[in-house]
Amino acid sequence: MNYREAKEYVKQIQVGAKIKPGLEVTGKLMQLLGDHQAGLSFVHVAGTNGKGSTAAFISSIYAAAVFKVGRFVSPAVFSERESIQYEQDGKTVYITEEEMARHLTAIRAAIEKMARCGDGVPADGVSGDGVPGDGIHADGVPTEFEIETAAAFLAFADWKCDIVVLETGMGGRLDATNIITTTACAVIAPVAMDHMKFLGDTIGQIACEKAGIIKEHVPVVMCQHDREAADCIARTCQEHGCEWREVVPENIHIRESALSGTRFDYKQYRDLRISVPGLYQVENACLAIECVEMLCASEGDSTLAQYSSSGGDSLFAGDSLLAGDSSSVQRFSLSEDVIRRGLAAARWRGRFEIISEKPCVVVDGAHNPDGMNGFLKSVHSYFGKKEKIAVMGVFADKDYREMAGMIGRTFSHIYTVAPPSERALAAEELASALNACARRGAGEMDGEDARREAAGTGAVNAERGGTGTEMADAEREAAGMKVANAERVLNRAVACGTLAEAFDLAKQHREAVIFVFGSLSLLKGVYDYWD
């Protein structure tokens, strides 16, 4: 098959299939393909927010040590081939169409063999405790995500990657990526309420699904979570005999933060620098540092250790390594200079990224309340009292009403669009939710301000000998102010049919900064427009 034929094949076999939980099909598929993932070393990254940024920092650090670093990105935004890539010598290389076609051809043959042999899932289509995840189809046909994961494993083995930074899909325990058995470190980025239909109704349930990537005696790093989430992750670590570390915010000191990046201290490290803006990125960078430190301190056989070509940048305990006996390696280390260079060189598109200067346009993938909170902090920090215009689009299964309530008066105008997805929330419905929150906010705040002003006016008039009529007039004026404010914000959010329409309206505010945020599926269209 060529690339076009391969993509069409993947699309066709998904028709009419239904997702069921379990790892059986992924496991069988990789077994037929030769279990190439078993010869790779993985840093496995799960979480709700910051997963991609953390993976980018980790990848960049190991690339700075002259490793060939494979990376599986979920979801892809800018290219179909973006999900499968490697980084080496300061360059990021996506899988080629020819390589993808070759791997998908092999995968097709394995799928057809599975069908002939009758391999598939149990009759009830459920495995484990039945909690849904990225899973498999009831008829035993791999999902598109499972096929993509299998292609990634084949590519990383083909490229002879020294280490692979592997992002999960939305889950963890039943995520297709979780068939790996050679995890060097598990990383749990911030966990938030998202994908509740599949992962659970509480933060604890969701965290437990994410923690499903934790393997026996494998080091774990995590950020500081909600107590319920933290308890679940810690309990999972204890059950599997894992050492774990946590990024403690009190150990972070921000020296300077600007759109060009952030300088900060973390534990013993002084004046670190990251080039990606966004205050929330500092915690992601610290999570990457903890991951590297855990791998540096890990004792015993390390498949990471046997590959380094970095000269003085990587430090190894155990001379026998050079003789090819990696089993005696006791410790793997990277120098502080490598960590510094790797953090500074890291790039991650679509996260508080400026894509235009005139007008100033900032894009961010904030698509849930926790992500929105971090995004808004950066908006206020970097742009202060500048007029701010928003273009926003989200999926219907996100908590868009809570996000609407968080926005408050940050933006003078909001233009809503529907992301290019079957899961998209209609632009009209999002605008309605935003305007409802704006009316409530204006009615409560401005109305109360008006009442206080009226009371003050009445008191002054009374002191001057004013009449009760004047006081009543002042109260009526206050009520009028409240109504006027509510009407003023009624059309604050405007539904648009296309991104182009939204941008045309946004550009009319000539001195304003334009922020585009929400579903990651919006971003490619945004880049295409501004290019």
Q: Are 365 and 516 in contact (CB under 8 A)?
A: no
Structure tokens at 60: 């960049």
Is the pLDDT assigned to residue 105 strictly greater than 80?
yes
Is the pLDDT assigned to residue 19 strictly greater than 70?
no
What b-and-e string marks burial along 438-467, b requiring 16 or more CB atoms within 10 Å of the CB? Answer: bbebbeeebbeebbeebeebbeebeeeebe
- Residue 403: name the closest of 388, 382, 425 by CA: 425
Question: pLDDT class for 489, splitting at 50, 70, 90?
Answer: very low
Is the pLDDT assigned to residue 422 strictly greater than 90?
no
Quick one: average pLDDT of 482-501? 68
Task: Report the pLDDT value the prediction gives residue 197, as an integer from 0 to 100.
Answer: 52
Beta bridge partners of 424: 395
C-alpha dihedral, 516 to 520 to 525 to 529, nearest 10°: 30
Q: Per CATH, is 353-441+490-530 categorized as 3.90.190.20?
A: yes
Structure tokens at 176: 């297709």
Quick one: average pLDDT of 45-57? 89
Give me the DSSP letters along 208-232. HHHGGG--TT--EEEE---HHHHHH
Task: Report the pLDDT value the prediction gives residue 485, as an integer from 0 to 100.
Answer: 41
Task: Report the pLDDT value the prediction gives residue 459, as an integer from 0 to 100.
Answer: 42
Task: Report the pLDDT value the prediction gives residue 22, as an integer from 0 to 100.
Answer: 77
User: What's the rounded Cα separation, in Å, for the pair 213 and 191?
Assistant: 14
C-alpha dihedral, 259 to 260 to 266 to 272, nearest 10°: -170
H-state helical runs in 346-467: 369-383, 400-407, 427-463
Task: Report the pLDDT value the prediction gives residue 520, as an integer from 0 to 100.
Answer: 84
Is the pLDDT assigned to residue 20 strictly greater than 90?
no
Is the pLDDT assigned to residue 225 strictly greater than 80?
no
Is the pLDDT assigned to residue 131 strictly greater than 60?
no
More confident residue, 456 or 257: 257
- Residue 257: name the closest of 148, 374, 142 by CA: 374
Task: Report the pLDDT value the prediction gives residue 499, as an integer from 0 to 100.
Answer: 95
pLDDT tens string 150-177: 999 999 999 999 999 999 987 788 889 9
More confident residue, 228 or 138: 228
Quick one: average pLDDT of 494-504? 96
* Sequence-separated (6 or more) residues with CB below 8 Å from residue 455: 474
Instruction: Output the furthest CA–CA distance in the chain (Å, rounded).
Output: 100
Identify the CATH number of the domain defined by range 3-345.
Answer: 3.40.1190.10
Give me the DSSP letters along 305-349. GGG---GGGEEEE-GGGGGT-GGG--EEEE-HHHHHHHHHH---T
- Residue 348: name the closest of 394, 285, 293, 292 by CA: 285
Q: Pinpoint the residues of the chain covered by CATH 3.40.1190.10.
A: 3-345
- pTM for this model (two decimals): 0.79
Is the pLDDT assigned to residue 216 strictly greater than 50?
yes
Question: pLDDT class for 325, splitting at 50, 70, 90?
Answer: very low
Task: Report the pLDDT value the prediction gives residue 126, as an integer from 0 to 100.
Answer: 34
Percent of all residues in the chain with a pLDDT value above 70, rounded to a whole number = 76
If you count them, how many residues does the chain have? Answer: 531
- Residue 165: name the closest of 206, 97, 209, 213 by CA: 213
Quick one: average pLDDT of 120-136? 37
Task: Report the pLDDT value the prediction gives residue 442, as an integer from 0 to 100.
Answer: 55
Question: pLDDT class for 441, splitting at 50, 70, 90?
Answer: low
Q: What are phi and psi of 163, to 5 degrees?
A: -150, 150
**Which of 85-94, 167-176, 493-502 has the weakest average pLDDT?**
167-176
Is the pLDDT assigned to residue 317 strictly greater than 50?
no
Task: Report the pLDDT value the prediction gives residue 501, as an integer from 0 to 100.
Answer: 96
**Which of 295-304, 348-357, 443-452 has the weakest average pLDDT?**
443-452
| Average pLDDT, rounded, for the chain | 80
User: What's the rounded Cα separation, in Å, for the pair 513 and 505?
Assistant: 13
Structure tokens at 501: 């329409």
Task: Report the pLDDT value the prediction gives residue 333, as an integer from 0 to 100.
Answer: 65
- Residue 313: name the closest of 64, 79, 45, 15 by CA: 64
CB count within 10 Å of CB 181 equals 11
More confident residue, 90 or 241: 241
Question: pLDDT class for 408, splitting at 50, 70, 90?
Answer: confident
User: What's the rounded Cα separation, in Å, for the pair 225 and 455?
Assistant: 46
Q: Pinpoint the residues of the chain covered by CATH 3.90.190.20.
A: 353-441+490-530
Task: Report the pLDDT value the prediction gives residue 85, as an integer from 0 to 100.
Answer: 96
Q: Are 40 and 156 in contact (CB under 8 A)?
A: yes
Quick one: average pLDDT of 256-265? 93
Beta bridge partners of 137: 19
Quick one: average pLDDT of 485-499? 69
* Sequence-separated (6 or more) residues with CB below 8 Å from residue 472: none
Beta bridge partners of 416: 392, 495
